[in-house]
Each structure stands twice: as structure tokens, then as C-alpha cells.
Amino acid sequence: MSAPAAIIEPPRAARSPWADAWSVFRQNRAAMLGLFLFTTIVAVALIGPLVYRVDPFDIIQAPHQPPGSEDVPLGSDYLGRDTLAGIIHGARPTLLVGASAALIAVVIGVSIGALSGFFAGRVDMLLGRVTEFFQVLPALLFAMVLVTLFGRKLTTIAIAIGVVAWTGVARLTRAEFLRLKQLDFVRATRSAGASNLRLIVHTILPNALPPIIVAGTLAAGTAILFEAGLSFLGLSDRNVVSWGLMIGSSRTYLREAWWAVTFPGTAIFLTVLAISLVGDGLNDAFNPKLRQR
């Protein structure tokens, strides 16, 4: 009697790289902790002002009331304003500045890095000199000059931070384009008659996105620190509360009211920590060499 024929299973559908990346990401406990923490902060920024309706600019208590005092769970600042209200209402502007500045940095960096890596030669040399010029400039000092010249609005601050923070993204994008444009699938697309614009936007850029996403995520954390630094130096919009503004306005009263600086500083620390953990997790998920680490 002949042996039964082996059962041939149908081939499984190939998983997308994004599904594989998420599978690796969710196994990273630190990255998941960062994602949970960042999601909580975003939820506070979106829902908090609707639940805790105290105006952060209203004077509702005597100055320098310690945490646990009546009407001010986290204490009051030098004017008697609620510290908790400032943290809740200041989350949204702080996150918006970080996200907007990171988006501007990514757009500028990807544009310059893509052109530099794709065309190479004289274009690469010219754009490389532009990148080096911005890279050697003191970033915080240059941002201070831009904010001083064009006004202390949050929009100006986000643009100023984005303008000084794009060089790392540009170098990363250039390296990815130099590597990818030599691969067979790009050469095949070029041989089929695709234009340079199509090669850049539709063929190479989608394959270069994973490390760019990681760089953009980390740029958001850097932008939040930049905003806090500018606010600490008094270069912020006084009409919009942010965590950096809270620290900057209360810095001279640190000994009398430590909570007015410590709590918003802790909020900035936790936000940047969460973004860094998510960025590291994305780096491990998108980088095959690090997946087994």
C-alpha cells in the first residue's frame, strides 16, 4: 500500500513590512511604555481642558500656595495662578509646537536630502554646503535671532525650530537615496521610462520612509526642548500658556515655589522620554539588524 500523499498547504500571504514592524515594536516593553505614556499625554491635551475648566491665566489663590492647597491641587505660581490648569492647558500648545517644528524639519530635510542623494555631483556638493552651513550654526542662538526678528508667536517659534533642526534628517535622507538608487528595482523603473520626479516620489521615497519616520519622531522631542529653552529665555508668546512659559515665568521664584517649575518641567521630561522610547522602538522595528537585539 502506497504512502499517503503529503498535504500541500497553500502559500500564506506575505506580510507587509509595516505589519512586521508593528509586531517587533509591540514586543519592546520600553517602546510600548513610551507609546502608552505619550497617548496619555495627548489625551490630557485634548480632553483635559474640557474636564478641568480653570483658566490658566486666572488668579484664583494667593501667590506661592503649596500643592494640596484649596482650589490649587498642584499649588499656585507667583501671581496665584493654578499650576495644574497651566499644565493641562499648556499641553496642547507644547505638543503642537513640537509636531509642527518636526514636520517642518522633515519636509526641509527630506527635500534637500532627496535632491542631494538622487542627483549627486554638483547638486550634492551645493546642497551639502548649505547643510553644513546650517549644521555649524548654534541652533538655539539662531532660533533666538529668528524669534526676535519675526515675533514671539507660536507659529514663528515652530518655524524657527524647524529651520534649525532639519540637517540631521537631510543627511539621513541623502544616505538612503544614495543607497536605494543603485538597487535593481530603481534601475528597472528608470529603464521603463519613469521621470526623475516619479523615481524620487513614488519609487525611492516610500522605501526610505522608515528611518525618516524615526528621525521625525525624535525631532519632535528635540523641538519641545527647544521651545522650553526659548521660553526659559523669555522668547515665547505671553498670550498662550505652555510648559516652557510656565518654567520661564517662574524661574526666579524657584526657591520660594519649587512646584511652579518642577511640575511643568516633569511634564516636559515625561513627554520627551515617551517620544524617545517610541523613537527607539521604531528604530528597532524598522532596522532588521537590530530586531534580534
**pLDDT tens column, 174-189:** 999 999 888 888 888 8
pLDDT band at 12 (very low <50, low <70, confident <90, very high): very low
d(CA 128, CA 268): 34
| pLDDT digits 0-9 by tens, 246-276 | 988 888 888 888 999 999 999 999 999 999 9
Q: Concatenated DSSP letters for 130-195?
A: HHHHHHHS-HHHHHHHHHHHH-S-HHHHHHHHHHHS-HHHHHHHHHHHHHHTTSHHHHHHHHTT--
Q: Is the pLDDT of residue 13 over 80?
A: no
* Residue whose entry in the numeric block shows the C-alpha cell 519636509: 107
**What is this structure's pTM?**
0.84
Q: Name residue 229's amino acid.
A: G
Rounded Cα distance between 13 and 190, Å, is 29
pLDDT per position as a tens digit, 65-106? 999 888 899 999 989 999 999 999 999 999 999 999 999 999
Does position 1 have pLDDT exceeding 60, yes or no? no
Cβ–Cβ under 8 Å, residues 116 and 128: yes
What does the alpha-carbon distance between residue 11 and residue 129 come to, in Å, rounded to a whole number?
51
C-alpha cell at 116: 542631494
Q: Which residues on adjacent β-strands are paired with residue 154?
A: none
Exposed e or buried b per residue across 142-157, where buried means at least 16 C-beta atoms within 10 angstroms of its C-beta: ebbebbeeeebebebb
Domain boundaries, the chain: 27-47+82-290
Return the bridge partners of 82, or none: 76
**Closest among 215, 183, 180, 217 to 200, alpha carbons compared:** 180
The C-alpha atoms of residue 158 and residue 186 are separated, in whole angstroms, by: 36
Which residue pairs from 227-236 have beta carbons closer than 8 angstroms and sit at least 24 positions apart in sequence? 227/94, 227/97, 227/98, 227/101, 227/157, 227/161, 228/268, 229/140, 230/140, 230/143, 230/144, 230/147, 230/157, 233/144, 235/144, 235/147, 235/148, 235/152, 235/157, 236/152, 236/157
Residue 102 confidence (pLDDT): 92
In CATH terms, the superfamily for domain 27-47+82-290 is MetI-like (1.10.3720.10)
pLDDT of 5 above 60: no
What is residue 174's predicted lDDT score, i.e. its pLDDT? Answer: 93
What confidence tier does 110 reach under pLDDT thresholds 50, 70, 90?
very high
